Amino acid sequence: WARETHEVPAGSGSGFLWDDQGHVVTNFHVVAEAQKLTVTLHDQRTLPAVVVGVEPRKDIAVLRIESRGQPLMPIRRHPARVELEVGQKVIAIGNPFGLDQTLTTGVISALGRQVDGIGGVKIREMVQTDAAINPGNSGGPLLDSSGRLIGMNTMIFSRSGSSAGIGFAVPAT
């Protein structure tokens, strides 16, 4: 195993609505070189977005959108720290290859993985999954079987350089 991970290119990705104030969480590599950002919601509304915070070493970015008076539905989160288990069913949602609102399923394959992030910084405590994580899934939510947030889909490890491999998510807790 060469332990190479491949992140999807900037310019297209996924994210999730963190709260009803319009904060959207995604990967830093999704927005890193963007000059203009828009977010398309599940109801197909497209809204302009601005970056309000980033942590490049953990590959996390927070955006803000203005709902223009319409309600926003944030992602469901666990009320307290949740204990994840290897073998637990997971659901990955995103926009792989530009195909919006795509869902794949799998299991948690391992916990506590360490992978190289931007600049060789180690991202620790990653969730490893066999749910398909493809270009465009980056920044999307990894959910439990009740639809609650487990983490954020971030990268894929692939020996072939293709989209076949092991996915990793930054844990939500």
Give 118's contacts (C-beta < 8 A, 6+ positions apart).
28, 29, 56, 57, 59
Per-residue three-class SS string for 62-101: EEEECCCCCCCCCCCCCCCCCCCCCCCEEEEEECHHHCCC
Give the containing element (helix H, strand E) for 37: strand 37-40
Catalytic residue among 14, 23, 29, 163: 29
- Let me know if 138 is a catalytic residue: yes
Catalytic residue among 14, 23, 138, 163: 138
123 neighbors 97 (Cβ within 8 angstroms): no
The residues annotated as belonging to the active site are 29, 59, 138
